Structure 1
Amino acid sequence: MIISFDVGGIFVKYGLFDMDGTIVHQGKQPTEIETEETFFTLIEGVISSYEKEYSIKGIGFSFPGVIDSENGIPIVSGAIKPLRGRPFVQLLKERTGDNYPIFIENDGNCAALAELHSGNGQNLKDFVVLTLGTGIGGGIIHNHSLMKGGRYSAGEFGMMLIPDRQGKKVILAKYASTQGLLNLYRQRLGITSDTPVTGEEIFKGNTFVKKDVLNLWGEYVAMVIYNIIVSINPEKVLIGGGVSQNPLLLSLIEKPLKKFPEWALFETPIIRCYHQNDAGLIGAFYLVKKNL
């Protein structure tokens, strides 16, 4: 059996897989990120509960941030701040015993691995996964293999720069993430960041302001995708993240793309990921399996 973790800022999802990739059990718990100790206590509890009943062959982690997967270190760890720069794999092995291999990889890269092995990238040689969430991430598959980059940060698409309306340089994730969508809507209404707003409500598009904000946000997402396509030339772009399940998303992206310069030359299919909310969990399983 393989234990798989998908670590997020709000929840830690976990699952037990057989060697064929079937999920035998899965669950989630609120992420404990106050200290390194509280985080590892949560992880150890899950591992221990599975070890009581099953023989474990390996453990995989889908983790936010920039991950040195060769040495098991989160160079940048997103919301999991206590683990930044820490030898994650080594520390966990010291706690659980060095009984099986442990692997860690960026969450966008894990989503790409999931699509490569059992999703909408199975028959593709080169494709990109773009994940839309609180930020923007993703993974690049080139020649059937994961592209990590020289310093493990390939696929950080949200860090692309654009000038805002005042000419200030900002990262695209500020506008093109789902958090960016909420912020654009709040700005249009003149309400504070504390005012509750949901993407689901905006996507109803039942007012002029909602429709206008959605179109503007769709244009920003389209910019990210256009820049990816002209730089990498993938066969397809696969969209992931919770918002990817909304039936309006693809039309919001494709409409502005058709108006961008030279789109007819670079036009590339854009589809949803096959694995939605379980992409990180499934990708972490394949991370382990391919290394056993």
Structure 2
Amino acid sequence: MVKSALKLYYKNWRLIFIPMGIIYLALILSMLFLFSGLVNILLQGASESFDEIYAAVSRFFVDSDIGAMIDKGYAEQIFSETIDMLRANGAMVAASAKSRLTLSVFFVMACIVFAQKLTRSMLRKDARWDDSRRGLIVIVFRYLISTGLVFLFTWLSFLWVYSLLFTVIVYIVLSAITNLFSTWFLHYHNYPMSAILNGKSVLALVGTRLTTFFINVVSVMVIASVFSMFVGILLGIPLFAYNSAVNDVIGLEYFKKIIKSKPTLSESQPAQEAKKEGAVSAEKA
């Protein structure tokens, strides 16, 4: 399976420009959204803080009499209230900035997922989508898992420094299982599911994904050492998206090899009965 993945990987290398274009555009848009929002938030926060300070000064020097102005307790009260308002304003600015950052990260991650799905569809142009309902179910199932992983990474990125590594491992295992299941569900559901979705096939696909993932990591490290870490990450993100798309296609190729290598593998009983009924109907006609 590793050999098939590497062959498909290098044969269709031009398709890497699809995730590159989508991801780089997403990065540009997210940066514009983030920085424009931060500028507006900071300007608004500065304006509100200035108004609060101006109101406190006016209250002390204009609205207060001489007796209140020389009262130490009154001055400390106004100063304390002003500091509390400035802190509350700063907390609101920080919350707004964090919200913008979270939306930007989620948008980029969602575009990475979309780029991977689009690249995979280009690699699988010859795949049979013989049942639109089954195809729709698989699409919804895959996107639910992908979206869940995006939310998981976005949430963990603010809590745990190793969140990316954890998310990648979880993604590799879950994507291997969902890839094998969707391949059986879409294209070979007439055969027993245990023929493809078993421990051996899952381990084989996970091993393939880990091997290609390691190759990508080494490639990114080489690029980063020659140029810079920024360039390595910038080229590594679409590279991993392309690699994920290639690994998804391997599930279909793997199932084809299983069917060819096991001539005794028969279709499931419901499928055989359906074929018999169809043959009988054709004879009667």
Sort the TM-score into its range (normalised by shorter chain).
under 0.3
Find the structure with the greater CA-based Rg. Answer: 2
Richer in helix (by share): 2
More RCO (CA 8 Å, sep 6+): 2
Richer in strand (by share): 1
Q: TM-score, normalised by structure 1?
A: 0.22
